[in-house]
Amino acid sequence: MAVMARAATTSDAFNAIAEPQRREILVLLRGGERPVTDLARGLGMTQPQASKHLRVLREVGLVRVREAGKQRLYGLDARGLRPVHEWVGGFERFWSESFDRLDEYVQGLKQEEPYDDR
């Protein structure tokens, strides 16, 4: 049963980034590669907890790792976010239309009621 739950969590980028601490790891990695100890410290968690989150992010292609001497450096692989970006982009027209309607409404209010600054 636990194996199935884990598989569901790590199946794609959407599930992986549903967890707030994993999103925070991605934010930290936007600034460049970091070792797990830095990430754990930055998130206020233990190294094993951070490693578990990094493993999930690596499995879905959002994080890459490379050896640098004795440590492993984790870096963002934003290509893995493409499906999320494309899905969210499908709502852009809705947002644009909503902002256009709001702007028309505000302009209408300005024309109806002259401003009195007394």
Q: Which domains are assigned to the chain?
A: 2-112 (1.10.10.10)
- Whether 98 has a pLDDT exceeding 80, the answer reads no
Question: Which among 1, 12, 6, 2 has a CA at the least distance from the CA of 83?
Answer: 12
pLDDT of residue 96: 76
**What's the DSSP call for residue 79?**
G
pLDDT tens digits along 5-21:
444 445 789 999 999 99
pLDDT of residue 44: 95
Distance, in Å, from the CA atom of 19 to the CA atom of 56, rounded to the nearest integer, reads 10
Do residues 60 and 12 lie in contact, with contact meaning Cβ atoms separated by under 8 Å? yes
Distance, in Å, from the CA atom of 55 to the CA atom of 34, rounded to the nearest integer, reads 14
Name the pTM for this structure: 0.71
pLDDT of residue 8: 46
Do residues 47 and 40 lie in contact, with contact meaning Cβ atoms separated by under 8 Å? yes
**What's the DSSP call for residue 11?**
S
- Phi and psi of 38, rounded to 5°? -65, -45
pLDDT-derived band of residue 31, with 50, 70 and 90 as boundaries?
very high
Strand, coil or helix: 34: strand
